[in-house]
Structure 1
Amino acid sequence: MADRTPTVVELMAEHTDAFLWNRSPDQQPDDDYVVDPAALGISPELVARLATWNVEWSRRALDLGGPGDRVVEAAAWAREGLRLAHRLQNEFDALGHDIDVRCAHDDDPRPLRERRGP
């Protein structure tokens, strides 16, 4: 592992405990691909909320409920992910990290700094 802070991270749910991914344009082969939020100083409360949101991804993937319920639930889940991504960007900024956050679960590829939210 290289001792380099990523410059771009993407919030993206996965069927593992990982939810932050290094998307830095200058990423080197020895840089970590999965980003540990605690190593970047993210608050334990936000890490817990992100982990819960990520687990919900797997739960939804295995859900056998009706399709209408899944569509409504998926939209709410995606909105929560975007809110959490904005909070992550705000925490990075407050910590003085020059890290752009992107959210894989919305239709806007721009970093969240370019589209401030809550």
Structure 2
Amino acid sequence: MNPEKLFRALTLVSFFGLMITLLAWILIAPHAENYPVAAMLILGLVPLLFPMRGLLYGRPYTHAWTSFLMLFYFSHAVGEVYSASSLTLYPVLALICSSVCFCSTILYVKFNAKNKKAI
């Protein structure tokens, strides 16, 4: 398999995995009684909607700036893993998905540039 296609597929899987993890974390995980679910859905998922079209179409520029967006989700997940009293599933899944998405977007851009240079 072409590495460019592999990293694009890995980006999409981890990106949508992060979206599903955040949805489950906000909607299913136990929270305080006054937890603002709607506000957390807006703050957590709306930033992921901006790069979705470019990622689906395989645009390298969108992949590049999505890697910067993943740093926000990575740092949030690290903070949640560190501050939790016990190891919980949702922050760990968010940490894995954001890390994989970060690395795969960068590698996709790298291999895309090599393929364009070779042509």
* Alignment TM class, shorter chain as reference: 0.3 to 0.5
Q: Which has the higher contact order (CA 8 A, sep 6+)?
A: 2
Q: Larger strand proportion, structure 1 or 2? A: 1
Greater radius of gyration (CA)? 2
- TM-score for the superposition, normalised by structure 1: 0.43
More helix by share: 2
